Structure 1
Amino acid sequence: MKLIKCTNCGEVFEEAVSPCKICGGVIELTISLTGIGAESSVGILGSVSETNRNNCKHIKYNAPSGAKSESSLSNSQLTGFVKSPIDIGRQGENRVATCIKNHLTKIGKHYHDAESHDDRGEDCALIIDNENVFIQIVTMKPSDGYWKSVAQGSGDIKLNLNEAASAIKSTISQKALRYQNRVNATNNMLLAIDIGHFGTLATNEFAKIYLDNYKDPAIEYNFGAVWLVGPTENNILRLGSSRW
């Protein structure tokens, strides 16, 4: 099945020609494949293919930036690689925000775009079910120097799920430290952890490992929600409790 739609207004078209004729947004083409649980999509000049077979989840991602990655989750091990150019931080914010919006639509949440304030740490702002929500986006760091290695050519990843949980825990706690002296500053924050190149981590298996080792991050750090966001809206994990 093929679906061509605008990532901004949701208008459906017969041809994948950007920008959207209605609102000027980006056109996304999604193709669902049959057999062995495979799915492939072509988005903002990028593509994602996913397979689930023999208890192994595998994602191959060609990013809009030109970066390429593959990740696999099998036998509680996360393995893979990322090839330059590097596309984390601000370069990945639009993709993460689009994935969040598409996921909200997928789970039946109503939202509208709102004005965000970068000087307040708001990478994106939405009104979700009539509630003001601001989104802060951070990138998972598998290890010290990992993204520097990618910037220089490529970086390999090999972590068991306990090690991956530790990396995510560190990412969350470092962000929380920025707001520790600001009362209720994170109540309406959706902390989005960019795992675009490690999308296979967005599984119930990983959520269980994390919550077996650590507290619910939304409760521990008073976030409205903590989401792990992979390359598409189909690779999102709401970690622990989530208000949205």
Structure 2
Amino acid sequence: MKVLRKALAKAGQEVETPTDRSAEDDRGEDGLIRVGGQDFILQVVTFPIDEIIWGALARGEAELSGDRARALELLRETLRHKNRRMASSERSSVILVIDGRNVSSLFSRELVTAYLKKYGAPEKEFGFAQIWLIGPTVWTTIRLDGPDAGTSV
């Protein structure tokens, strides 16, 4: 969450922590954030969402290789996974954080450009307020949606 806050601030957004309530984990709220005076729920999903990959990793057997097409598939499945688990009426108040700290080398402007070219604007399809690809640092963090898509800060 710290990296997202720094990225938002670096992008010129006013970022605060709401003090009137706390995130409710049992409601799927991973955090709360106030951006530009508006409150949002933070939802974090680990990238990639592929359970086979993570099972192999847990056994010390993971090997992930592929091209940009495979990275696009993994990103698309991550978005679809989160989309299926949330009512459409809730998504407009959610900033989706796709946590790719373990595979941040996959996150790039080129990946975002390729995603937008192949699938179109994810905010229109899925309805999340914002979608961020989060790496281990602000410099490896890229926005996937909106007019600033592909912008790393």
**1:211: Cα distance to partner?**
1.2
1:126 matched to 2:33? The reply is yes
Distance 1:111 1:197, change over 3 A: same
Counterpart of 1:233 (choices 138, 142, 148) is 138
- Gaps spanning 5+ residues in structure 1: where? 1-96
**1:111: Cα distance to partner?**
1.2
Instruction: Identify the residue that residue 104 of structure 1 maps to in structure 2.
Output: 8
In 2, Cα distance between the equivalents of 1:217 and 1:168? 11
More strand by share: 1
**1:203: Cα distance to partner?**
1.3
Instruction: Identify the residue that residue 146 of structure 1 maps to in structure 2.
Output: 53
**1:120: Cα distance to partner?**
1.8
Contact 2:33–2:41 (CA under 8 A) maintained in structure 1: yes
**1:167: Cα distance to partner?**
0.8
What is the number of residues matched between the two proteins?
A: 145
1:178 matched to 2:85? The reply is yes
Partner-residue secondary structure (3-state), 2:73: helix
Q: With structure 2 as the length reference, what TM-score do the two structures score?
A: 0.87
Q: Specify which structure has the bigger relative contact order, considering alpha-carbon pairs within 8 angstroms and separated by 6 or more residues.
A: 2
Q: With structure 1 as the length reference, what TM-score do the two structures score?
A: 0.56
Instruction: Identify the residue that residue 167 of structure 1 maps to in structure 2.
Output: 74
- Gaps spanning 5+ residues in structure 2: where? 149-153
Contact 2:97–2:132 (CA under 8 A) maintained in structure 1: yes
1:207 matched to 2:120? The reply is no
Contact 2:88–2:127 (CA under 8 A) maintained in structure 1: no
**1:207: Cα distance to partner?**
0.7
Counterpart amino acid of residue 92 in structure 2: N
Instruction: Identify the residue that residue 222 of structure 1 maps to in structure 2.
Output: 127
Identity %: 26
Runs of 4+ in 1 over 4 A off after TM superposition: none
In 1, Cα distance between the equivalents of 2:141 and 2:44? 14
Cα RMSD of the aligned pairs, angstroms, is 1.8
Counterpart amino acid of residue 106 in structure 1: K
**1:240: Cα distance to partner?**
2.6
Counterpart of 2:23 (choices 97, 112, 116) is 116
Distance 1:178 1:242, change over 3 A: farther
More helix by share: 2
Distance 1:242 1:223, change over 3 A: farther
In 1, Cα distance between the equivalents of 2:96 and 2:34? 15
In 2, Cα distance between the equivalents of 1:241 and 1:235? 18
In 1, Cα distance between the equivalents of 2:142 and 2:106? 8
